[in-house]
Amino acid sequence: MNNDNDNGNIGIITEEREQENEKRRMNKIVDKLEQRISKLEKVLASHAKCIGEMRDKKDDLKDMPEEVLVKTWEEKDE
């Protein structure tokens, strides 16, 4: 039987068809990985922004008198 193409060979998977299927599976995997990388890049950027904001607040708090900090902290708990 000639398996050079799968015309008329219902149920017989040719090597070419197997390679096409494997290529499709690999492309799906690559697409999913690209999506995950993109999402991780966004999360990383968000975390970097938060860290920068926290550092700015820390610098601002460094110049405040301790009494103000304690009072502010106690108000937060109420």
pLDDT in tens, 41-54: 999 999 999 888 88
Q: pLDDT at residue 15 above 70?
A: yes
**Alpha helix segments (H runs only) across the chain:** 15-62, 66-77
Q: How far apart are CA 26 and CA 22, in angstroms?
A: 6
pTM of this prediction? Answer: 0.54
Give the pair of three-digit tokens for residue 52.
């920068």
Q: pLDDT at residue 58 above 70?
A: yes
Give the pair of three-digit tokens for residue 38.
């993109």
Q: pLDDT at residue 16 above 80?
A: yes
CA dihedral 63, 69, 73, 74 (to 10 degrees): -170
1 falls in which pLDDT band (50, 70, 90)?
A: very low
